[in-house]
Amino acid sequence: MAVSSPRDKYSAVWLIFFMLGLGTLLPWNFFMTATMYFTSRLKDSSLVDSSANQTEAAGEHRSVLEAKFNNVMTLCAMLPLLLCTCLNSFLLSLVPQRVRVMGSLLVIMFVFIVTAIIVKIPMEPLPFFSVTMVKIVIINSFGAILQGSLFGMAGLLPASYTTPIMSGQGLAGSFAAFAMICAITSGSELRDAAFGYFITACAVIFLSALSYILLPKMEFFQFYQEKNRRQRSNEEPNSISLMNGESTDAADAAAEQPKQQNVSMMRIFKKIWLLALLVCFTFTVTIGTFPAITADTKSTLADGGSWELYFIPVSCFLLFNLCDWGGRSLTAFCMWPGKDSAILPVSIVCRVVFVPLFMLCNVQPRLHLPIFFHHDGFFIVFMILFAFSNGYLASLCMCYGPKNVLPHEAETAGSIMAFFLSLGLALGAAISFIFRALV
């Protein structure tokens, strides 16, 4: 007789997964938001922002590091993210879940504490550049392990519990964009703002770690963990009885058990390959366009006023992250189209149209294409549709993936989906250089 699952009282498990989702992407978003701070530290070896004479004197030395910073930062972020997400698929059976999640959160928090301390320490540009890149590699490596583990855990729960992770990740971007706008509005010193960013990130990651400590105490989570353990243990007696079996057929079946274990990853992938490729394609299109093309768009309504100053922070970064968050969160209430519907892959492939649409906006500088969409309104409408469709469709794929496999395979399926999400980010980062060169 089937045992009914307990209620998620006060939506506590949902909120914990939301908090953990926020903790996975907030570190990277804060590093991106603080790009101006990092490049300012590459301008001069002193901590004091002095006169224009000093700036010009340092210009020759800093130009190389400043010019390379964004490209190297993207490379140092995406490659470890991809490699460690792949590695995480194999760590599932070797390293306990608690070690993977808590270890990743603690390492990331330590890196942010170090980053906050370095804000106050004078460093030469080259050592500062090197240390920053090492920190980005560490954050994205452990962030990938954390993300893969979370999607794996969510795979054990009902499909809707992938939504809070996606929603939390969406809020991370909105939070960072809002922080950037607040910094511009306040007119505070760049380094003071950066110090505040990193301390805030430490606090959020600490709260994420506390949330994870509470998770095993939740009756709702315990029920699905125990259900997964029973599913696994039910297979073991079968293999033991086969080992002691009464027939040659049983012995042959037992002999095939290790072989089945070895191919289980491929067997699971065969069940979810389409959803995995769809989430990969979704993020390839998104990161290929945003922010490489969108962040270079100039307002056609501004004449050196405040709108020009706020156009990209508001219309590009904040708007994208809010609409992306809205799309991710909507899957908590509506999951259409279904996982077997042809509408889902068609909708995802149709998002390619946003690439030429953004290219034909007022992206500057440009060499090849004409400007077709002059008014800022076009850019804003494109951004709303682009961001919302990214959040909603990607979240649908991530929710459906673990539900296409057997319950005891769901954790591995979640990790495979997380790997293809990361692969999409890496491919998007690579292809963005081509898209930008075509404008």
Instruction: Tell me the per-residue pLDDT of 75-104, one tens digit each, with 9 for 90 and over.
Output: 788 888 888 877 776 777 788 888 999 999
Q: Which of 398, 409, 422, 338 is nearest to 85 (CA)?
A: 422
Residue 241 lies inside a defined structural domain of this protein: no
Query: Looking at 310-439, which runs of residues are DSSP E strands?
Result: none
Give the integer Cα–Cα distance in Å for 105 and 207. 10
Report the predicted TM-score, pTM, of the whole model to 2 decimal places.
0.73
What pLDDT is attached to residue 61?
Answer: 44
Residue ranges in the chain modelled with pLDDT below 50: 1, 45-62, 239-240, 242-243, 246-263
- The CA-atom distances, in angstroms, between 185 and each of 68, 179, 280, 314 are 28, 10, 37, 12
What pLDDT is attached to residue 50?
Answer: 42
What pLDDT is attached to residue 55?
Answer: 39
Residue 244 lies inside a defined structural domain of this protein: no
What pLDDT is attached to residue 65?
Answer: 76
The count of structural domains within the chain is 1
CA 170 to centroid of chain Cα atoms: 8
- CATH number at 273 reads 1.20.1250.20
Q: Which domain holds residue 361?
A: 12-47+59-228+263-438
Residue 318 lies inside a defined structural domain of this protein: yes
What pLDDT is attached to residue 54?
Answer: 42
Residue 154 lies inside a defined structural domain of this protein: yes
Residue 1 lies inside a defined structural domain of this protein: no
What pLDDT is attached to residue 251?
Answer: 42
Residue 52 lies inside a defined structural domain of this protein: no
* Torsion-angle region of 304 (φ positive above 0: left; ψ -120 to 50: alpha; else: beta): left
Residue 124 lies inside a defined structural domain of this protein: yes
Residue 90 lies inside a defined structural domain of this protein: yes
